[in-house]
Structure 1
């Protein structure tokens, strides 16, 4: 989902120890990589030596020394649902994105069948250790809300992928034989690429 742009400057929000950024740089898919992580993680300093800039900060509340229109690609993998105000963060990220740059985000889909079944038929909205109802999720979205949020600050949805696109399990099969009509009930996560309008 991250476009191959060998001369790109890439920012990853919630970069962990920076494995994605390191891989992009080592494979020649990015020239300069920057990561922001909420807390300093064990061994992160050793691995972050391969990252041009590793920032420990809260992307929602901290003042960050990042210039407007700096990055060609900004990656938010499973981050927005953990934030108090993801809408404001998306607007902030778009400010750091160059004209024609892309925001790549993955966000869980609360409309998936298992979550709805538990809520509607069992009266259960119990948080879990992982998945759509992860205990650390503060916000919940379905496809329409995800797309709306990611278009804050402008831009065009360039690609939408799902966690079942490349799989051969029953969800993927059911999605194919129903011509995508049940997609929103089968998908647990959407991956979206939004392109900021080019200059001019």
Structure 2
């Protein structure tokens, strides 16, 4: 998941076994997929759920953290341990109908080049599903605007291992600039803000923790 395996070694086990029901629901709304490649697959929880739910026929993964990759290898069909930049030339990308990058783009040194490589080497029908933290979320932007604080943390939007930060518009631009066409974008907002009386649509970019995107070549 991370660009540098050393930066992920001190992460707790929960970091690599996160429940991704939110992202799974987003993928479910897009239909079923054949073979899937999960880049930054962590311990394989998302890939396992994709197969169990019938959304994917098989899931392979890439994971840079050795311990997480070993766990994922027991759950997914094939797991490559190492950095995505080093491994992409060895992986038959044209075999996959979907490539997942769930909270991994922000950890890469050059996500632009990785996305270009994925587009160039994948099949004509391949789609990509991306999840990234939203820098405009209120718990980030308000302390910055009113207190001048831009404080890194152990997890979340301000995770200290993040090398890049994105907003809704910059994520769309990133995908467009690397040759991907956005089909669908979804704001992941905490349930407590989704009450009928709360102006969550008006305040979307300040309430969104992550943006989920599905794109095609």
Larger Rg: 1
In structure 1, list runs of 5 or more residues that go unmatched: none
Residue 45 in structure 1 maps to residue 70 in structure 2: yes
Partner of 1:182: 203
TM-score by length of 1: 0.84
TM-score by length of 2: 0.78
Number of equivalenced pairs: 190
Question: Once the 2 structures are TM-superposed, how far is the Cα of residue 63 of structure 1 from its aligned partner?
Answer: 5.5
> Residues 69 and 95 of structure 1 are in contact (CA less than 8 Å); yes or no, is this contact kept in structure 2?
no
For residues 91 and 136 of structure 1, what CA distance do their matches in structure 2 show? 23
Partner of 2:49: 23
> Residues 44 and 71 of structure 2 are in contact (CA less than 8 Å); yes or no, is this contact kept in structure 1?
no
2:152 to 127, 132, 147: 127
Partner of 1:137: 162
In structure 2, list runs of 5 or more residues that go unmatched: 1-25
SS of residue matched to 2:94: coil
SS of residue matched to 1:35: strand
> Residues 11 and 35 of structure 1 are in contact (CA less than 8 Å); yes or no, is this contact kept in structure 2?
yes
> Residues 72 and 79 of structure 2 are in contact (CA less than 8 Å); yes or no, is this contact kept in structure 1?
no
| Structure 1 runs (4+) greater than 6 angstroms displaced | none
Question: Once the 2 structures are TM-superposed, how far is the Cα of residue 94 of structure 1 from its aligned partner?
Answer: 1.9
Question: Once the 2 structures are TM-superposed, how far is the Cα of residue 46 of structure 1 from its aligned partner?
Answer: 5.5
